[in-house]
Amino acid sequence: MTSPEERAAAILAAQRFVVIGTADAVGPWTAAAQYRLLPGGLYVESDLASRHARAIAASGAASGVVYDSSAGLADADGVQLSFRARQADADPAAVREVLAARLARDAVTAAMLDDEVAAIVATARKRLYVLEVERAYVFDRDAWRTRGTDARLEVDAAAVWRLLDRT
């Protein structure tokens, strides 16, 4: 039987998009973004003017969900996350530091890393947003199957990332 931490790691390793939740003076907001895995979290790229980027800059907090969009109703599964969030500096050294820290799933060659750093730095409005996981949950599939109740199980986020670091 797969542990909740193994399920979370498998979902995060297999998927590529996170729906980020933030809140600002107007109210709550969600946005989908492609993510890359970092030790203890992930990062996304976004425009400085995006609503979620502005909310992250103001609050330093975000939430997210990564789910298996191919699963059938009875097998629905996903990972819900709360983040300490920050915008990375726009200088080449800070961008390189974030990009170079990626886990094996998202690692690139040195030449590709150089090209990525140059492309990000060359786009004045583009920034990296580092989302450090504070808490993580998976869907409680047993509650869903037996009672039709949407519930979640907290997982050990550090254990999830140790599993991800092996892939």
Name the packing angle between helices 157-166 and 4-14 (round to 10°). 50
pLDDT at 73 over 80: no
Q: Which residue has the higher pLDDT, 53 or 144?
A: 53
Instruction: Tell me the two tokens of residue 125.
Output: 């409005």
Nearest in space to 42 (alpha carbons), one of 114, 95, 93, 98: 98
Mean pLDDT score of the chain: 93
- CA-CA distance, 109 to 100, in Å (whole number)? 10
pLDDT per position as a tens digit, 98-139: 999 999 999 999 999 999 999 999 999 999 999 999 999 999
